[in-house]
Chains A and B, each alone.
Chain A
Amino acid sequence: MSKTTNTAPFARTWQDISQSVNPRAMSKVSRQRRLAWTLKFAGLAGVVAAIVWGTIEIAETMGRSPNQPGLAESGPPLKEITLTTDGVLDRTWAGRALALPKNATLMALDLYALRTRLLAHGQIKAAVLARNFPSTLALNIQERSPVARIQVQVGAAPPCAFLVARDGVVYDGKNYDPALLNTLPWLDGVRLVRAGNGFAPVDGMDAVADLLATAHNQAEHLYRGFEVVSLARLASDGELVVRSKDIPEITFNTRDDYFRQLARLDYVLDLARTQPDKPLKSVNLANGLQVPVTIDTVARLQNSAAAPAPGNNLFPLPGLTHIAQRDF
């Protein structure tokens, strides 16, 4: 046989027979075997899927940081923050203080962490945060009111003014009207103690606040003259010493009624105005009906060449009924 250029086509071989499984060709034994195998496979696949799902869930849970309040995961994004306050803070300040990420969603917010963040500011006394679906975060905050100012210098930094509330909290006031702040007296005789990033509350501010509130409400013309309130003798003697524009030292007793003490002060000042040649150096209101005053002799000598004869250093006080008749 010689070589030919075209070979005859190959005959079909047994490998050309289709070996697809015809279900009708399966015996009962074979069907049972296939069912058993299918069940085993399904069970195994289920176990594998459960393991994979569990692993993913655990990984996601472990990867989620509890300190990260804003995580954009699911749900509509946060669109608005509403603020209700009894003070001076506004929504702009709230936005800065919360520092939420841009893609934060309402459901992903950690309200507890956000509240803690707000309360870190001394001006905030209480805060309530609520989700208003679908996309609003509602803040309801209660602010502290400043009672006095205090000058603080930390290290070599220039001194700066802080505010002190009735509960003694020292804080950096935001959004207050500067004119209002200027009316607040300064605190003196206080030893501030560092606590964390701020200062420990000042003791005795209740007494100061009561005095200033009484003065502000009942004798505003006196209050306006208060410049410095010293707590130096509060702990030892229970006395507050106020320096006003007119008198360098006015001593109040924290155990007595401030209203009566202010009435006596007002009377003393009225008397003093009738005797301009006798400028007052100090007024001590801590001794009940007796109000010792000290005349500023240096000023007196400078003011008048021919001074009348010096009188008693005690102003004669009328009866209490007279004080009660004064309308504060």
Chain B
Amino acid sequence: MISNTKIVGAVEIGTTKVTVLVGEIARGRELSIIGVGEASSRGVIKGAVMDFKAASEATHSALLAAEQSAGTRVDEVYLAQTGGHLEGFENEASVNVTAADNTVSAMDTDTVCRLAMAKELPEGRIVVHHIRRPFRLDGRLVPDPEHLVGRRLDVSYWTIHGLESKVADNTHVINGFSVRVTKLILSSLASGALVTSAEERHNGVLAIDLGGGTTDFALYRDGCAHKTGVVAVGGGHLTNDLALGLRVQQGQAETLKLRYGRGVVHARDKRDKVMLIGDFSIGDREFPRLTIEQITAARVWEIFEVVRKKLGASFAPEKIPAGVVLTGGSAKLPAITEAAAKVFGASARLGEVPAWIGENLRDPGYATALGLLHFSLNAQADRATAPRRSLLSKLFATA
């Protein structure tokens, strides 16, 4: 008997931590999160695996903890992909409708899609995603042009590619746990799909996932991802800036960031001091609050500026009525939304996960893993609802 239940693992190998969620998908449409596993990340720098053994041990520990928490083995893994090596480009194609009565056929759409996707990459690069944007039939946007009448059919794809070696390293870490990677999904797409609604994505929204080592962003328009990118700067750089600027250790800098860091400068009095530890013990020091805020705000501002610069002409404040949605572990920095609003000239808010998700998983740091489960549910639902074609129908379809 074939089981109707699938156990899916959502894995995010981040720069600071590895997060694994185990979801049980029943009958292709019901998702239950049944296991959580976390481990401090090792051997990963700016989202890329640098020490395979250390990264494997950290990831496998998190996977095992998640399996033990779920009480079952993971069948397949949905893996988040990030890193500064990821890039994207737009590729357009157009065809003249072949039918005499100008009715668009399946063959026309297949042809234009194949043309748009067919582009060679430099040596060592590999495609991670082909994101299709809406079709244009004689200039008008149509989600599905089949059976519509027109003369010219256009489509464009946003193709995301990365270094094959780095992508392979990520998948091999999972394979080392004797599990296959079923789907590789860009981190920004995973978290963006979770924290934005379909309506927001249709109207236009910018989702920014502020991680520990990278900042991933996805600009949505017309219901699909219009542009994505990765900035190899994240919350870890704020800590590093504080450690250099205040001449403290990394751990102390992390404590100061979490306690007193802000997205915009709020303090006005230079004499306003904060204590490093707070109990006047040996090694306890005081730092000006204004300095801490200035350091963190400057780095946050810079990150957003880089994102805006990477978006280039595709971004305009009026093109994102839904504004900017921030998520990821570093999005917890106070007043970071104010910084985003100022940089992008649009409203900004923190992303919220759906209400059905439990309290322990509502932290923005789980957004990517939750988004992976969201993707896995959609994939299973697509498989479940896909019509089963008989041999006869296949025969006639190809005739």
| Pairs A–B under 8 Å by Cβ, sample size 7 | A9-B118, A17-B167, A19-B172, A25-B56, A27-B56, A29-B60, A29-B64
Residues of A that sit less than 8 Å from B by CB: 1-4, 7-14, 16-17, 19-22, 25-30, 33-34, 37
| A81 CB, min distance to chain B CBs, angstroms | 55
Tell me whether A11 and B167 are in contact (CB under 8 A).
no
B33 within 8 A of A: no
Tell me whether A14 and B52 are in contact (CB under 8 A).
no
| Given known A-B contacts A1-B92, A8-B120, A19 and B175 have beta carbons under 8 A apart | yes
Tell me whether A17 and B164 are in contact (CB under 8 A).
yes
Q: How far is the CA of A230 from the CA of B366 in the complex (A)?
A: 115
Tell me whether B60 and A16 are in contact (CB under 8 A).
no
B168 within 8 A of A: yes
Tell me whether A29 and B57 are in contact (CB under 8 A).
yes
B32 within 8 A of A: no
Residues of B that sit less than 8 Å from A by CB: 52-53, 56-57, 60-61, 64, 67, 73, 81, 92-96, 111-112, 114-115, 117-121, 125-128, 161, 164, 167-168, 171-173, 175-178, 180-181, 184
Q: How far is the CA of A279 from the CA of B67 in the complex (A)?
A: 120
| B387 CB, min distance to chain A CBs, angstroms | 24
Q: How far is the CA of A164 from the CA of B260 in the complex (A)?
A: 124
Q: Which residues of A contact B177 (CB under 8 A)?
A: 26-27, 30, 33
* Most chain A CB inside 10 Å of its own CB: which residue of B73, B168, B177: B177
Q: How far is the CA of A28 from the CA of B60 in the complex (A)?
A: 9
Q: How far is the CA of A17 from the CA of B172 in the complex (A)?
A: 9
Tell me whether B115 and A7 are in contact (CB under 8 A).
yes
Closest B residue to A29 using CB positions: B60
List the count of A-B residue pairs having beta carbons below 8 Å apart.
Answer: 98
| Given known A-B contacts A9-B118, A11-B161, A14-B128, A33 and B178 have beta carbons under 8 A apart | yes
Closest A residue to B121 using CB positions: A11
| B42 CB, min distance to chain A CBs, angstroms | 11
Tell me whether B118 and A7 are in contact (CB under 8 A).
yes
Q: A3-B115, A14-B127, A37-B73 are in contact. List 17 more A-B contacts (CB 8 A).
A: A3-B94, A7-B115, A8-B118, A8-B120, A10-B118, A11-B119, A14-B128, A14-B171, A17-B126, A21-B176, A21-B178, A22-B176, A25-B52, A25-B56, A29-B64, A33-B64, A33-B67
| B20 CB, min distance to chain A CBs, angstroms | 13
Q: How far is the CA of A17 from the CA of B163 in the complex (A)?
A: 12
Q: How far is the CA of A3 from the CA of B112 in the complex (A)?
A: 8
Q: Which residues of A contact B81 (CB under 8 A)?
A: 14
Tell me whether B172 and A25 are in contact (CB under 8 A).
yes
| A21 CB, min distance to chain B CBs, angstroms | 5
Q: How far is the CA of A38 from the CA of B383 in the complex (A)?
A: 31
Q: Which residues of B contact A17 (CB under 8 A)?
A: 126, 164, 167-168, 171
Q: Which residues of B contact A26 (CB under 8 A)?
A: 56, 176-178
Q: Which residues of A contact B92 (CB under 8 A)?
A: 1
| A40 CB, min distance to chain B CBs, angstroms | 10
Closest B residue to A32 using CB positions: B64
| Given known A-B contacts A10-B118, A11-B120, A25 and B93 have beta carbons under 8 A apart | no
* Most chain B CB inside 10 Å of its own CB: which residue of A22, A28, A29, A37: A29
* Most chain B CB inside 10 Å of its own CB: which residue of A3, A14, A26, A30: A14
Which of the residues A1, A9, A10, A19 comes within 8 Å of B171, measured between beta carbons?
A19
